[in-house]
Copies of this chain bind each other. A is one copy, B any other.
Amino acid sequence: MRAPKTRLIFDAAIDTFSERGFEKATMDEIAAKANVAKGTIYYHFKSKEDLFVFLVEEGSQLLRERVLEKLPEEATAAERLRLVIREQLAFFKEYRDFCTIILREAWGEEERQRQFRRMLVHYVREIEALVADGVANGEFLVEDAQTAAWSIFGGLSIAALHHLFADPEFDLTVLSPGCETLFIGGLQSGRP
């Protein structure tokens, strides 16, 4: 990743994969965007699949770092979940290309898709743990923390994706308050 060309390829690949999807993206386009010869990509990455997996791994790791690692241990589950929602949206705002890739490319039986899902599972499991914490200490009341976690992750993601496709310049962070209210308090938030 330190090699300068690798960085160029990485960025061009993110861009291209998010714009076209894995199958429609061509190595020619990635090479052109990165301003390197096609062979150069293959010097640094074994295959198109390999490039994709590398990129998804980096992105997933970044997502975990950004969203999960700064959670204050002492805060309540609700406060931490609010932070997760805020940070995930902020992440999607900064890396909108990666956000697109997540939802498009994770679902299928190809090896790269399975690998991708494994990383998502890894991430969502942390949200699940957070929800379970809240349940354990009486803050939350849900039976199935896993489904709740996937609903939250998926709800945020699809809402973000929808807005991004409607308006590429849309500022996703404005969605935070609404999403926090919805997932923490529900639609009946504040009702007796």
Contact = CB atoms under 8 A, between A and B. Distances in A.
Interface string A69-83: 000000000100100
A23 interface: yes
Contacts of A78: 187-188
A57 interface: no
Given A78-B188, A157-B154, A142 B178 contact: yes
A102 B43 CA distance: 34
Contact of A150 (B107, B141, B158, B188): B158
Interface stretch (A7-15, A29-37, A46-54, A159-167): A159-167
Interface residues of A, number: 55
A156 to B, nearest CB: 7
- Interface residues of A, dominant DSSP: helix
A24 interface: yes
Contacts of A134: 187
A108 B188 contact: no
Interface in A79-128: 81, 100, 103-104, 107-110, 117, 124
A154 B143 CA distance: 20
A148 to B, nearest CB: 5
Contacts of A153: 158
Contacts of A143: 177-178, 181
Given A143-B178, A144-B175, A187 B150 contact: no
Interface of A: 19-21, 23-24, 78, 81, 100, 103-104, 107-110, 117, 124, 131, 134, 139-144, 147-148, 150-159, 161-163, 165, 175, 177-179, 181-191
